[in-house]
Amino acid sequence: MHLVESGKVYLVGAGPGDPTLLTRKAEQLIRSADIILYDRLVNPFILQLAKPEIEIIDVGKRPYQKHIQQTEINEQIILAARRHSCVVRLKGGDPAIFGRVQEEAVALSEQGIAFEIVPGITSASAAVAKLGIGLTARNVAKAITFTTASHCKGQVEELDLHSLTQGGTLAIYMGIKRLPQIVKQIHQETKTDFPIAIFYNVSTYNEQMISGKLTTIIKQVEEQDLEMTPGIILIGKVMDMVNEKFRNINNMTRKNYLISGSRSLAIEKAFELYEAGHYCLMKIDSQQPYHKSQFKLYEQLEKELKFDERIVLDNYQY
């Protein structure tokens, strides 16, 4: 492969949402990027770690809606690499797990553009961590299968249930809309009422978890009105190992904070609050030379989000 004179593209995993789960390398790249092309589900605070003067471009796909096509995303990444030294393509979770990273890597390679894939924590790992268990467990779950219920051109494909029937764990991404079909297929083919847990907005301030059996989960989800909320589906006997003290995540008290003050102190305070399970956004600093793409996004979020408390660090005592 002949590398042309252009910048380098980093295909970066932003993790499941909680910025404290960012890898060190991911955070460093976000802070030093000359331009960022980001997915819809990336936490806006993670974008606020970027230099205020750089352009950030939303290339996120909207489930079940008309959205930007992958070929157009590839073209935007290539164009950015022609114009900038450090290009960050920021994806939710791990870019190598249903993150379309292969298509982008191939497109860059064909153009002779240098790139690097930077792993992130995938939502399945974050979900079981919240439950105090693993995706695998000795004598209970010896394997894990990652799959998706969302396929090209809207086609629904049969799930590979071999690992599940042999005692493994099944993690289904992008399957919430097709939950009834998924549950029906698994129950009919395995004749087993497996334990199941569904995590919505995992590792974010509004995360929720519903657990039950294949025969009960549809009704439980309907009662909570969560059919169109992003989520990860986990199925298998390992779900029975959840300690009761970890089942109260829906009842945790979380707040939304808007933080004002110097950029460095605001970032430090935000990480403290995220560590405690809250959600934060930094207020637009009039002293900073924001790129219009950042200013527009943060201004819109400040208007749309409901904040429980506002913190002004100039008068705030640690």
Nearest Cα neighbor of 190 from 249, 153, 145, 235 is 235
Nearest Cα neighbor of 15 from 93, 124, 113 is 93
Please pick, among 51, 61, 130, 255, the residue that the annotation labels catalytic.
Answer: 61
Please pick, among 8, 51, 130, 174, the residue that the annotation labels catalytic.
Answer: 174
- At 224, the amino acid letter reads Q
The span from the first CA to the last CA of the chain, in angstroms, equals 53
With beta carbons less than 8 A apart as the criterion, state whether 117 and 101 touch: yes
Burial class (CB within 10 angstroms; exposed 0-12, middle 13-18, buried 19+) of 285: middle
Please pick, among 39, 91, 209, 282, the residue that the annotation labels catalytic.
Answer: 39
Active site residue 314: no
Residue with tokens 């629904």, as numbered in its chain: 156
Active site residue 225: no
Active site residue 142: no
| Cα–Cα dist 235/196, whole Å | 4
Task: Give the residue numbers marked as catalytic.
Answer: 39, 61, 174
